[in-house]
Amino acid sequence: MIRATSILLMALSLGAQSPAVPTPPAKPTTSAEEQAIQRFRAHARPRAVAPAAPLSAEDRNTIRRFREAKPSVVFVSAFILNPDPTGPPRLPAGTGTGFVWDEWGHIVTNHHVISAEVEGKLFRDAEEVEITFSSGKAYKGRVIGRSFAFDIAVIQVFAPLEAMRPITVGSSSALQVGQSVLAIGNPFGLDHSLSKGVISALGRMIATGYNSWILNSIQTDAAINPGNSGGPLLDAGGRLIGMNTAIVSNKSEGSVGVGFALPVDTINKVVPLLIARGVLQPPRMGFEVFSAAEAKQFFGVERGLVLSRIIPDTPAAEGGLKGVTTDAKGNVTGIGDILLGYQGGLIENHGQFAARLELQPPDDEVVFDVLREGKMIQVTLHLNPAGAKPKAKPASNSI
């Protein structure tokens, strides 16, 4: 360090004796292109703004409906508690969209929005929920109602009641293919995004992640992406006609422009029941069924419900339904009843039937169309007010 400093001081003291700095070469003659560039730089200034054309009636309506609905649309964040004490206290479980149902702080969204998933499989419901309004303010919420069959969850948000702006509810019974729709949601976390399209089809049956099927779903080409789940689908009048629930996608392209919404007429039946009692209460009929894969593999049956066991002292037993027959070793020796129809409608599979059953009053009389030993018969079950629930927890394939 001392040596280097001494050399530096010596060089400064030599003054004119220092080596001459090389003279940079002269700049080349400016080319014609460069001269033109420099000359045209002088004209840099903002462009004149052309007068805006008047908005069309359709555009004005779209803007108006978005502004009206925006305060009713919320961002839903779900969390699960972290079992690892060395990590953060909570872990993200999912995000999505929801909307204000009424003035009492009830938020409606998809059940899969508030469910944690591990390796693509349902893990558990979120333990903490946070609701963010269009104002940017976030409040704690609690899931108070859930339906697996319809993929609906109701959240009580602990926010000032004056912040509640209930969405305008319409009907899905008279919708027509081709009419305009608006979807508002939070795709990829981008809050309050609007997309527009048309109703592409009606009466679709779509699968949920809970082995059930949503009937009479609305198909739309309005852009729906991850994060839109639970958001409202509106008609041109700004009325809620559905809840955006699912998309058709592939791994390479993501959404391909085919989305599905749960119809509002279904929502308007299910949500009040969930608010009132937390869960839907389908009747317990007292029979167990084979899974769709088992029914096809063992019996070659691709539609309907193949009964495996009848639970004693239940409506199914009293009505005379029959399960499979077995030998002393428990091997199946004969097929049981196959339920093909329920209350005049077809039974496609377990999930589709479970979705219909959630709205069935528990004390009604129900009629099944049954295929028994190659012949079609009708069997009537009389359901008692208690629903004839078995004392033990029923299996997942028990109805």
- Domains of the chain, by residue range, sit at 67-163, 180-277, 287-382
- Say if CB 60 and CB 53 are below 8 A apart: no
Residue tagged active-site, from 72, 106, 111, 112: 112
**Which pairs from 36-43 meet CB under 8 Å and 24+ separation?**
none
Handedness of CA 138, 141, 145, 148 (dihedral sign): positive
The residues facing 196 across adjacent strands are: 182
pTM for this structure? 0.72
Catalytic residue among 151, 235, 337, 369: 151
User: For residue 100, which amino acid is it?
Assistant: V
Per-residue pLDDT at 23 exceeds 70:
no
Tell the burial category of 126 from Cβ atoms under 10 Å away from its Cβ (0-12, 13-18, 19+). Answer: buried
Report the CATH architecture of 180-277.
Answer: Beta Barrel (2.40)
Query: Is residue 112 flagged as an active site residue?
Result: yes
User: Which CATH number applies to 287-382?
Assistant: 2.30.42.10
CATH code, 67-163:
2.40.10.10
Q: Which residue in 193, 229, 308, 398 is the catalytic one?
A: 229
**3-state SS class at 397:** coil
Task: Reply yes or no on whether 369 is catalytic.
Answer: no
SS3 71: helix
* pLDDT attached to residue 240: 98
pLDDT tens digit string along 59-111?
Answer: 999 999 999 999 999 999 998 888 788 888 888 778 899 999 999 999 999 99
Same fold, 67-163 and 180-277: yes
**13 counts as catalytic:** no
- The pLDDT tens digits for 315-333 are 999 999 999 988 888 788 8
DSSP one-letter code for 363: T
